[in-house]
Each structure stands twice: as C-alpha cells, then as structure tokens.
Chains A and B, each alone.
Chain A
Amino acid sequence: MRTVIRGGRVIDPASGRDEVADIAIANGRIQAVGDVPGDFDPDRVIDAGGQVVCPGLVDMHVHLREPGQEWKEDIESGSRAAAAGGVTSVACMANTQPVNDRRSVTEQIKSAAQRAGLSRVHPIGAITRDLAGETLSEMHELASAGCVAFSDDGRPVPDAGIMRRALEYAATFDYLLILHEEEGALSAGGAMNEGAHATRMGLAGIPNASEDVMIARDVILAELTGGRIHIAHVATAGGVELIRQAQAKGLRVTGEAAPHHLFLTDSDVGEFNSHAKMAPPLRGPADREAVRAAVADGTLSVIATDHAPHEADAKNEAFACCANGVTGLETLLGLTLRLADEDVMDLPTALARVTSGPAAVLGLEAGRLGVGEMADICLFDPEAQWAVEPERMYSRSTNTPFAGWELRGRVTHTLVGGRVVYPFGGEE
C-alpha cells in the first residue's frame, strides 16, 4: 500500500519541521516529506487539509491489565483506546497477574498485541520478582524477550540495598529503570494529598515528602551506581527540583508528568469523587504549577498517562478503600493540546512531550517523521471541539476524572507502519 497524506500542517518536533507538506508512505515507512516525487503513484490519498499531521503518540506509562484482569482492560481494548487517541506506541507496566517477571508473560503480551494489530506494545519488565522488592528479576532474559525497561510501578522497591543492586545490575547492560516514587511508611493509610482539603474531609493524607524522599534516595543511588532512571508521574514541586538538580549534575535522570497532575489539584477530590483518587495523589496548586513549568522547560521530557483502567465496582468503594488510578489514552492528545492553548508551552513543544520525548527515553524507533522512519502517524483536526463522554470511550473501563470536559483537537486518523488503524475498519 502506497499512501500520500496531502496538504496537512506537518509538525515533527524531533526535526523542528512545522509547515504545510505532503508525506509519502510505502512499505510501512516514510519515503518523503515535503515534495512527493512525481513518480510516486499512491494507492490511497488522505486529504489532510486543515489538519495537523504529527508523529503517532508514544505513551510510556500504561496499564493494559492482560494477563490477569481482563475485565478492567485487555490488550485488544487498550490498543483500541490507544488508536482512537492517536497513540501508536504504548509501554505497558509489569503489574499484571502473573507479573511480567518472566519471558512467557512478555511473549504473551507481545503476541496478543500483534493479534490486535492496532498499536506497538512494548512490555516493561518487573525490577523484582513478583514485584515483591526482594529478588531481582532476570532482566537480561526479559530484555531479550522484548522488555524495553524495568519497573515495579505501584510497588516501589522499599529496600535501599536492593534498589542499589537493581541499579547496578541494570547499569551493566544500560537498561532503564522506571520508578514510582513513594515511601511506604509516609504514605501508609493515606487516601489523598496531605493538606487543608484532606483535613476538611477527614481523610488521612499523603505528604509530598513521601514522594520527595524516595526521589532523593534514588537520585543518590543513581549517582552511586551510574544507573539510568526515569521518574514516573512526578507530582510535587520538590520532586521536580530534585530531578532538575540531578540533571544539572549530569546524572542520567529523566522524568514524566501525567495529564491529571498537569490539570487537577487536590481540591478536585470535591465531595469524595473516587475518579480523583490516584497514586501519587493530586497535589496542591503550587505543585501543579511546578510540574507544568518542568514539562515546559524539558526537565520532564515526557507526558505519560498512567492509564489505569478500573471497573466501576473498584471505584464504588469508600474513598479511602477504592482503587487508585484513572484512564488516559483517549484524552492524552486533547489535554496535551490544551497545554498549548493555556500558553504553558508552544504546540511543537507540547507534541514533543508525547512523541520524541518518550521515544528518546525508551530508545524506541518512534516519535519522529523523518524520511526512512516508520510511518506511525497521527492526524488531528486542531479546531474540532469535543466533550469527554466516558460512555463513548473504547477502553473497557471509563474511570476518568475529565468526564464532561470540553477539549479541542480530535484524532481523525491513526497510522501504524503506514496502515490506518483508526478509524476502525478503515479501507484496508
């Protein structure tokens, strides 16, 4: 299939390109950007007039729930949600059941993703066996099966000695560790951000220190070991500052922000709204501003959703008891564009945080529109307004705190390797 995408505003943050141009695709790769050679004879032309054409989005923090909790999400439904959201690559966390701490699980995830055929799925392996924080997983075996990084996401490694060994071992092969930073004893019993809102609602709080203490520990251990770490869903001003200092020292530390931390604060918990419960919790306005500034200046080079689907019953418990997490794949683009609308950063920078930024951290061949690159592409209408309606989402779970939000920018086409994966049941 030879495709031409004609007349769109091509924004490729990696190369700095931002101009109206055509893109020619053949054999799953980009053959030309700008002037399409006269002898290129397309089977299909996509009219992109008035649209933005950008690299397919890369979401490096997703929970796909398969194997083990397929009623929340499975690889097929998660891939659908990704495709509908313009996301062409997802990295999925290891807290499946069984845990992705062995080759068989990694292979199972990869083959299910291939069957679904809607998105490139990159498994993340566990740092420790069964996420128990005690014994290192076979990282080399997992990497050779296809794991692109390692994380015990949701279950931070509590023992600093084991964390040191994990970093040393990973550094031997230059593997990346993705770290959910939370000091268990400081978070114990907490249900939301510690502060005035938690006090008013009579909910036990989680102080910023819970996150900051662990980021400090792991930055120090990264320095000790020469390891490469990526701090997941940074939510505090203190955490941002620690990462900034580490980078200034030349340590190999990167970080990501989740859309909910960029737009919401602990006051959005409102009257015990379980869709506003997540880990780390929604913090205060000063934290939100600090995280926004860090995404704008590149201290945090990634926006990742922490897409965490849960069925309604899991959220229908008392606030302190209900499951943590929100879905994100289908609102990622709209919320990223909103950062540009709110002048937090310009549009190409915002798009870089969901394309070339995460691709660079994971070392993926993705997130760029250069000639010869894989044709993973997102087309969206930047002017189209739409309301977030959970009942119309493709994810199997609809636990979003953004229900009812009016967003601008609607995905019209998603291409993976030159194939149109969205709209579903396209012309192929």
Chain B
Amino acid sequence: MITSASHDRYRPLLPLSRTARVLSGFTLALLIALGWGAASGALGVSPWALINGSADELSVQVWWQLRLPRLLLGVAVGAMLAGSGAAMQGLFRNPLADPTLLGLASGAGLFVALWIVLFQGSAAGSLYGQFAAGFLGALSVCLVVFGIAKRQGGGSAAVMSLLLAGLAINTLAGAGGGVLAFIASDDQLRQLSLWGMGTLTNALWRTTAVALALIAVALWLLIRSARELDLLQLGESTAHAAGLDATCLKRRVVVATSLGVGLCVALTGVIGFLGLLVPHCLRLWLGPGHRLLLPASMLGGALLLVVADTLARTLGAPAEIPVGLLTSLLGGPYFLYLLMRRNRAC
C-alpha cells in the first residue's frame, strides 16, 4: 500500500443497499453507545428512571445539563475529526493524512494558546475568539502542508514529505507552546494545560450548541464533496477531463476541515489519531468510495469517541482520564503498525 486508496479500483456507485446497511448499522451502534454513555458516569443516573419519571431532581438536572451536552459534543467532535481525516486522505490521495499527524490540530492548538495568552478576555467573548484562533491556526497549517504536497505530486516521496512537514509543524507548535507556557501567568497556564490534554469535560450547552451548528456545516461541506473526491482519485488530469473543478474542491475541503478541526481543538484540546485510525480501518473494510467512506467515518468517529469518553469518565472515577490520552494510546501503536507494513511493502 504505497500510495493512496487504490486509484485503479474506482467504483462509480456502491450498491445502495450496502451503503444503507453499513450506515444504519453504525447508527444503531452509536445509539447503543450513547445509551451506555448516558447511563454511566461518576453519578448513577439510569436512563430508564429518566424516561419513566422516577428519577430525582438532581439526576434529571445532571443528565440534561452535564451528560447530554457532553455526549452530543463527543458525537460532533468524533464525527468531525474522523470525517476530516477521511476527506484529507482523499484530497492528498494519501492514507496517512490526518489532522493530528499533519499538524493541523497542534497548529490550531498553538493559535488558541496564543490567543489565551495575548487576549484573555471575558468568558463569552473569549470563546468565539478561541474558535476563530483555532480555525486560523488549522487553516494556515493546512495551506503550508498543501503547498508542500503540491510541489511533490503523488507517490511515496509525497507521503514522506507530508509526514516530515507534519513532524516539523508539530515540533514547532510544541516549542511555541513551551515558550507560551514560559511567559504565561499562572491563570493562563492553567487554561493552557486544561485543553492541552484533550477532554470533553467542558461541555456546556452554550458552547456545545454553537459547536454543533458549526460542525454540522463543516460535515455537510465534506459530505457534499464525496463524489468529487472519488473523481480526484483518478489523478488530477483525468479528473479535470471528467469535469472536476479541483481548485473549488480543495478550497471547500480545506476550509471545512480547518473550520471543524480548529473548532474541536478550541473546545476540547487535541484528541489524537481519530482522523487516522477510523477512516483507515473503514477504507480497508468498505473500499475507497467516499460516498460511503465519509459518512461511515463520521459515524465511526462519533462512536469511537463516545465510547472512549465514557471509559475516560468511568475507569478512574471520580477522577477523569483525559480522553485524548486514550485515543492516542489506541492510535499511536496502530500508526506504528502501518509504518512497518509500508516498509515491508517497499
């Protein structure tokens, strides 16, 4: 598997029944995971008690004010990260593209950190500022990486230079974060460290509602690009001959992923490897067609993050394990395994 989702096996349309089967299966699994997530936590609130009205006032409040926004945020962030991963892998025609590896997430993180240190303002104002900072950070990294990818064309050289670019950006962002931590005040430092770990703990309705709306827009932009991404797998010139406006497609995917990833990072910190792991496994299983792969990745990412976050909330209760730690523990070894397989293939 040297290059991306096999160009030669492009299938114009998956049988609808299969698409429907897979997506409804994922949806069902996600609903089950949500049910499990709703029922578990430091406080035992059973969904049945909520449904039949036997739950006490505190349980009802906890469920509505804490658990529900958190579950929804998990769905949105998981779908966004995995969907971005799938779309970027299609756009770069490279199975290793991922918001974490390419440095989008850490770039967004650095901008958010800068924003916190430079303009720490009121809570409400600062939130939208952080969204904007995350978006700008992810966007600038995306453009840099894109420039590098364009110069390299396809092939394994491009994979290498993309990964190196990601490594460089991650290193730079890490160093920038270090500098910021050095000059930040005690208060700012606390804010920095909190979202740096990747957690859904800060889910509040007022932030989650905004995030859900914006992420829905980004997801819709990606879903709309599915057919064009399929065309792009044929190679730029063939796709162009088939009437694809590649520039427009790239612009749309870059803006959508930057918006989504920047927003996720501003709200929840860096949750690693969802964007690599989920689309990758699903491509092996479902094949490269983006019309199935994109929505399946989104549902799969949502499923994985909801499950991981429920574990994060319950494993060490009453303390919480940062969910970013769990996803990286899953994703890191998988990434190593992929690299080893690539080397064997070379």
Are A and B subunits of one complex? no
